[in-house]
């Protein structure tokens, strides 16, 4: 596996074997666990170790974790988060002029990547079901923390559709 070769090159000899074992264990867990089991595992792992396991499903769905990494290296005024769904009409024009410093209007965004474009051999979970309440609570807490982080670091929020972010939680 190419990913293991990259890991081996970046880990010293002492830790390379252990990193390989952890990677293979996580790969096997990903194969065996149901989606629901995997969510519980990843959130528990994150709460225990303060980072996500290899090949995490949840990692890209948490915003505050990534934002805190950005604000360690950048001033809040250099960070401009945006929701693609909000970049329409006057907001797109404003974004083009004030962020991209372009005098030309950008074409409207017609295609946005969506998980609906991907076929999965498992039935789509009903995220409004009671068994996913823990996940909705986790995401709500993460979004609340994100808003607090952005305000405390003076990050511009005008291109974010917070209503859309909170819609399903």
- Tokens found for residue 11: 């880990």
- How would residue 140 be classed by pLDDT, with cut points 50, 70 and 90? very high
* Highest mean predicted confidence (pLDDT) among 55-59, 62-66, 113-117: 62-66
3-state secondary structure at position 165:
helix
Model confidence pLDDT, tens digit, residues 109-119: 776 666 666 67
3-state secondary structure at position 3:
helix
Query: What DSSP line would sit under 45-109, residue for residue?
Result: HHHHHSSPPTT-SSGGG-SHHHHHHHHHHS-GGG-----GGG-SHHHHHHHHHHTS--SSPPPPP
Q: What is the pTM of this model?
A: 0.70
83-110: average pLDDT: 79
């Amino acid at each position: 596996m190419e990913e293991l070769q990259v890991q081996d090159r970046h880990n010293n000899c002492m830790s390379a074997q252990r990193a390989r074992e952890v990677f293979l264990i996580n790969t096997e867990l990903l194969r065996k666990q149901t989606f629901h089991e995997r969510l519980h595992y990843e959130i528990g792992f994150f709460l225990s170790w303060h980072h996500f396991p290899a090949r995490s499903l949840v990692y890209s769905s948490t915003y505050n974790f990534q934002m805190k990494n950005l604000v360690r290296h950048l001033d809040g005024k250099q960070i401009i988060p945006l929701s693609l769904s909000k970049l329409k009409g006057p907001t797109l024009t404003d974004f083009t002029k004030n962020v991209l410093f372009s005098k030309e209007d950008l074409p409207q965004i017609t295609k946005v990547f969506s998980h609906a474009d991907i076929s999965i051999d498992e039935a789509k979970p009903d995220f409004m079901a009671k068994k996913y309440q823990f996940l909705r609570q986790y995401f709500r807490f993460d979004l609340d923390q994100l808003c607090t982080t952005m305000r405390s670091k003076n990050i511009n929020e005008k291109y974010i559709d917070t209503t859309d972010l909170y819609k399903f939680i």
